[in-house]
Structures are given as structure tokens and as C-alpha cells.
Amino acid sequence: MWGVLLTTETTLIIIKPDGVERGLVGEVIGRFERDGFRLEAATHLRLSGQQAEGFYAEHRGKEFFPRLIEFTTSGPVLVLALSREGAIERARGLVGATNPAQAAPGTMRGDFGLDNTRNTVHASDSPESARREVSFFFPELVGR
């Protein structure tokens, strides 16, 4: 049978301050694990302003950037490197649309997100972003 050959990828997931504060860490991780993701690395931290600005540098100059940085540094986050076949696209599907009002029911943002900023989970949106984001938090995983 012929089909699409998927390769194992690693993607970056951040359970944002609203998800940590509301006790959704176990549910978010559980959804990924039940879908076949493997945990490669994790760190629990509170991002500094400098770290948040570095991570979200591609959004610098956009009107929402200051609000994003303020929110991201408002409390602890859990950063995960997860892998599986087709990880990036599959994670985006599980997470849902950025705006929770537009995210499908059953997606994490559809079920837990509060607004465009407090949308519970960040997920890498492309292979290039995943490489950059994973290396930002877990440089030891790059090139494995």
C-alpha cells in the first residue's frame, strides 16, 4: 500500500501561564501522550522579559507584542519537547486555532482557551519554527 511517509519530528509545546495556573498541565500532557507523542524534554520556569522577547522575536513590532510578553512572563510555564511521526502538524491539530472562539471543540484551545493571548498552549507552527524553538530551550536536542 502506498501512502505518505511521515518522519519522526520534535516540536515545542508551551503550557502557558493560564494553563499552569488553572491546573491544566496534566490534561494537556495527557492529550499529547494519548495521541502517541513521546516526551523528549521538559522544563518548568518563569520566563524573564528578555527570554520572552527572544522567544517571540518574530512578533516584535506587532501591536500585540507587548501584551504577549507581559502575559508570557506573568507566571510559570511548562515547556515540552515532544516527538512522534508528523509531530508539528499533529500538535497544531490537537491545539487548535489561535483564537479560542474559532478553535474547534475538542481542541485544547477550543476547550480551555480564554482569548487570543490566554489560549493555554503554544505549539510550533512549522519545521523551521520547531527547530528554532526547541533549540531555544533544549539546545542539547538539536541534531539528534
Q: Which residues are catalytic?
A: 122
CB 105 within 8 A of CB 98: no
Q: How far apart are CA 47 and CA 129, in angstroms?
A: 19
Pick from 75, 6, 91: nearest CA to 40: 91
**Mind giving me the DSSP string for 77-93?**
EEEEEEEEETHHHHHHH
Assigned C-alpha cell, 103: 478553535
Region at 16 (left for phi over 0; alpha for psi -120 to 50; beta for the rest): beta
